[in-house]
Amino acid sequence: MFVRLAEQHRQFVKDLVMNLQALAIVLEDLGYLASCYTCGGQMNSASFMVSLGDNHLIRFLVSDYGITWTEMRDDRELMKLEGAEAIQQLQELANLAKFKIEPTQTAPVVPTQV
């Protein structure tokens, strides 16, 4: 039974890594700064990051050891989730792509004259 569960977990991680890679590509096409790096060709771990603008960063890590979602703003950690809760947060990112929501553009800073 445990061998079967271990194999199912490995397949789950592989599927999740493939979906993260696809999500990074779609978000990049929408104008977000996004990346997904994997270690080796076995697809057993990934580091996914996306910038939502205004110093707002999402980092999602997946491996055989665990799954973590970390949301940061201005280099401060706002939220850290693990496991199923972390995976649920991916749906929010997927909604950006699904509804084709483009990143907010901040207005350029115009120097004022005194």
Q: DSSP 3-state assignment of 77? A: strand
The tokens describing 73, both together, are 């703003």
Tens of pLDDT, residue by residue over 61-77, are 999 889 999 999 999 99
In sequence order, what are the residues at sequence separation of 6 or more whose Cβ sits closer than 8 angstroms to the Cβ of residue 85? 69
One DSSP character per residue, 13-80 reads HHHHHHHHHHHHHHHHHTT-EEEEEESSSS---EEEEEEEETTEEEEEEEETTEEEEEEEETTEEEEE
Domain spans of the chain, in order of start: 2-98
Most distant CA pair in the chain: distance in Å?
Answer: 75
What's this model's pTM, rounded to 2 decimal places? 0.85
Strand partners, 71: 58, 79
Query: pLDDT tens, 12-52?
Result: 999 999 999 999 999 999 999 999 999 888 899 999 999 99
